[in-house]
A and B are shown apart, each in its own frame.
Chain A
Amino acid sequence: MPSISRDEVAHLAKLARLAVTEDELDLFAGQLDVILQSVATVGDIATADIPPTSHAVPLTNVFREDVVRPSLGQQQALSGAPEAEDGRFRVPRILGEEA
Chain B
Amino acid sequence: MTNDLIHATAAELAAKIHSGEVSSVEVTQAHLDRITETNGKVNSFLHVDTEGALAQARKVDEAVKAGETVGALAGVPLALKDVMTTEGVPTTCGSKILEGWLPPYDATVTRRLKEAGVVILGKTNMDEFAMGSSTENSAYGPTRNPWDLERIPGGSGGGSSAALAAYQAPLAIGTDTGGSIRQPGAVTGTVGVKPTYGGVSRYGLVAFSSSLDQAGPCARTVLDAALLHEVIAGYDEMDSTSINEPVPAVVAAAREGLNGDLSGVRIGVVTQFQGEGYQPGVLRSFQAAVSQLKELGAEIADVSCPSFDYALPAYYLIAPSECSSNLARFDAMRYGLRVGDDGTRSTEEVMSLTREAGFGPEVKRRIMIGTYALSSGYYDAYYGSAQKVRTLITQDFQKAFATFDVLISPTTPTTAFKIGERANDPMAMYKADLCTIPANLAGTPAMSVPSGLSDEDGLPVGLQIMAPALQDHRMYRVAAAYEAARGAFGGPSL
Contact = CB atoms under 8 A, between A and B. Distances in A.
B211 A52 contact: no
Contacts of B385: 42-43, 46
Given A19-B355, A42-B385, A80-B336, A94 B347 contact: yes
Which applies to chain A's interface (DSSP): helix, strand, loop or mixed?
loop
Contacts of A72: 104-105
- 5 closest A-B pairs by beta carbon, nearest first, are A56-B443, A80-B335, A52-B387, A82-B338, A46-B385
Contacts of B353: 19
B334 A81 contact: yes
Interface of B: 101-105, 197-198, 211, 237, 240-241, 243, 307, 310, 313-314, 316-317, 324, 328, 331-338, 341, 343, 345-353, 355-356, 359, 361, 364-365, 367-369, 371-372, 375, 381-382, 384-392, 394, 426-427, 441-444, 469
Contacts of B243: 57
Interface string A1-33: 100100011001111111111001001100110
Contacts of A81: 333-335
Contacts of B361: 24, 27
B384 A46 contact: yes
Interface of B is mostly: helix
A97 interface: yes
B394 A53 contact: yes
B365 A43 contact: no
Given A12-B371, A56-B443, A62-B240, A50 B391 contact: yes
A19 B386 CA distance: 29
Interface residues of A, number: 58
Contacts of A14: 352
Interface string A56-91: 110100101000000010001101111100000101
B350 A36 contact: no
A19 B356 contact: yes
Given A18-B355, A41-B313, A64-B237, A97 B348 contact: yes
A51 B391 CA distance: 7
9 contacts: A16-B324, A16-B367, A31-B426, A42-B317, A42-B389, A45-B307, A54-B387, A56-B442, A57-B443
Contact of B347 (A4, A9, A79, A92): A92
Nearest to B103: A80
Contacts of A12: 368, 371-372
A40 interface: yes
B388 A50 contact: yes
A52 B390 contact: yes
B178 to A, nearest CB: 13
A35 B367 contact: no
B365 A28 contact: yes
B386 A42 contact: yes
A77 B104 contact: yes
A39 interface: yes
B313 A40 contact: yes
B426 A92 contact: no
A39 B334 contact: no
B355 A36 contact: no
A28 B361 CA distance: 9
A96 B289 CA distance: 66
Given A40-B382, A56-B442, A81-B334, A18 B105 contact: no
A32 B335 contact: no
Given A50-B392, A92-B350, A82 B336 contact: yes
